Structure 1
Amino acid sequence: MTLLQLDHVQRVFNPNTSHPVAALKDITFSVNQGEYVAIMGESGAGKSTLLNIIATLDQASSGAAILNGQDLGRLNKDDAARYRREHLGFVFQHFNLLDSLSNRDNIYLPLVLTRCDPAEMDRRVTPLAHRLRIAKVIDRFPAEISGGQQQRVAIARALITQPDLLLADEPTGALDSNTSNEILDLFADVNHQGQTILMVTHSAAAASHAQRTLFIKDGRIFHELFRGDLAMTDYQAQISNTMMTLTNGGA
């Protein structure tokens, strides 16, 4: 079943000036429920703009972005904020944890904003903490744990709302290679349990964990690859070759 559909999405900044900037020119793709999709492209290709539109942080200039039947462009500011809290989970490169809150309270924060019952928050956090291997540090503070553990706390915060779609923006960009692999294995495990994931990354190694990779060039979908039955190393090689072609100006 299609969860996310983008139809001819364009995003133009400063449209009524002498120097309009077309960040997205014509983006069409869909993501099925339960898929794990990576998005790659050079800096300035439009990846962040695309993610912001799906995250309801920005609106398309034309075209439609529809998530689980909801046209995201029709949401006003307040409705968009509510929709983000209730339907989307976010994992960022730099974790975005609040240092003044314990790890537990950081995880609870999205549910606090929706006025969730405290007993329900406790019911949800316990299995997440064990699944993400943060049970022993959940009552510490972010500054007291490693970067990898902080990212696990951030993932727990994203998952505790049971989102329709998990959006990840360079989730391993601030981590060393070993910790990155642990986080990517965790993403794969979460996906195998049914969570739909859309991940923006510059890393071929990270993208090789996904089932499908979309490449953006100059505001358009340049190419897509499917992992299928390929070994991860072979898929990573295909991704690297495609990125090389894209970088060298291939068409």
Structure 2
Amino acid sequence: MPILTLEHIKRTFTEGQNKVEALKDISLKIDAGDYVAIMGESGAGKTTLLNIMATLDQPSGGEIKLKEQDLSKLNEKNAAKFRRENLGFVFQNFNLLDTFNNRDNIFLPLVLAKAKYEDMEQRLDPLAKQLEIEQILDRFPYEISGGQRQRIAAARALITQPELLLADEPTGALDSKNAAALLDLFDQVNYEGQTILMVTHSAVTASYSKRTLFIKDGRIYHELFRGEQSKAAYFEKITNSLTALASKGAKR
């Protein structure tokens, strides 16, 4: 059953006297428990699409629903409440607050939702063990490594038990070892039922997903399914698709 449905999504921006079509016609469905990577060249519309899914931007046309909730009709206040209650975010640059210790950074979305402290602690305990961050909870983001910061950010995203985890270039600021550790975590939580949608430039990162969408000029150009393929075989197919995508652009 689809958890997220997009029907003919368009997004047009005005730059001076010109209109720019960032998204021309995007339709897709994401099922509960899916793990989808979105790829494409810079300017293809990936981030615009993610922002619309995150209710940080509104489409110029079309319809987007998370379950039965029409996201295109939420006002700013209700959109903020919706994000807190249904979405988790993992960003390339972590977006942690250096004035808060790591524990309070993780608790932040629950504090905004006015959760009880006892409930927050109950949710944090298994996450901290799973992410191996128990020893750094009382330290501050500037006192730990990039890989540790991304694990704190992942804990903050997962502690709300979101319907959908949105990741924007989550491995972009990590070395290969820490990137692999984060992607192994995504594998694990997806196996446990977490729905993940991830924007990435990296074929290696996308090879962990179950499905990869390629966007070009504001439209879905191609789609791959991993199925029973190994990560290595799927990586090769993703790389070949990216090459074909670039080749099509070069011939114009």
Q: Could you tell me which residue of structure 1 aligns to residue 232 of structure 2?
A: 233
Q: Distance in 2 between matches of 1:147 and 1:232?
A: 25
Q: Distance in 2 between matches of 1:246 and 1:70?
A: 34
In the alignment, is residue 92 of structure 1 matched against residue 72 of structure 2? no
Amino acid corresponding to residue 10 of structure 1 in structure 2: K
Q: Could you tell me which residue of structure 1 aligns to residue 159 of structure 2?
A: 160
Q: Distance in 1 between matches of 2:217 and 2:123?
A: 42
SS at match of 1:241: helix
Q: Could you tell me which residue of structure 1 aligns to residue 59 of structure 2?
A: 60
Unaligned runs of 5+ in 1: none
Q: Distance in 1 between matches of 2:176 and 2:130?
A: 21
CA-to-aligned-CA distance 1:61-80 (integer Å, 9 cap, x gap)? 00011112111001001000
Q: Distance in 2 between matches of 1:190 and 1:216?
A: 26
SS at match of 1:4: strand
SS at match of 2:208: coil
Q: Could you tell me which residue of structure 1 aligns to residue 129 of structure 2?
A: 130
SS at match of 2:157: helix
Q: Distance in 1 between matches of 2:36 and 2:26?
A: 15
Unaligned runs of 5+ in 2: none
Amino acid corresponding to residue 248 of structure 1 in structure 2: S
Q: How many residues align?
A: 250
Identity of aligned residues (%): 60
Amino acid corresponding to residue 54 of structure 1 in structure 2: M
Q: Distance in 1 between matches of 2:145 and 2:68?
A: 39
CA-to-aligned-CA distance 1:217-250 (integer Å, 9 cap, x gap)? 0000000000001111010000000011101116
Give the alignment of 1:62-211 within 5 angstroms.
Answer: 62-211=61-210
Q: Distance in 2 between matches of 1:110 and 1:45?
A: 31
Deviation (angstroms), 1:18? 3.7
Over the residues paired in the alignment, what is the CA RMSD in angstroms?
A: 1.1
Q: Distance in 2 between matches of 1:91 and 1:128?
A: 15
Q: State TM-score, norm by structure 1.
A: 0.98
Amino acid corresponding to residue 52 of structure 1 in structure 2: N
CA-to-aligned-CA distance 1:121-164 (integer Å, 9 cap, x gap)? 01100111001111111111111111101000000000111100
SS at match of 1:248: helix
Q: Could you tell me which residue of structure 2 aligns to residue 49 of structure 1?
A: 48
Amino acid corresponding to residue 4 of structure 1 in structure 2: L
CA-to-aligned-CA distance 1:19-67 (integer Å, 9 cap, x gap)? 1000000000100000000000000000000000000000000001111
Give the alignment of 1:8-23 within 5 angstroms.
Answer: 8-14=8-14, 18-23=17-22
Runs of 4 or more consecutive aligned structure 1 residues displaced over 6 Å after TM superposition: none
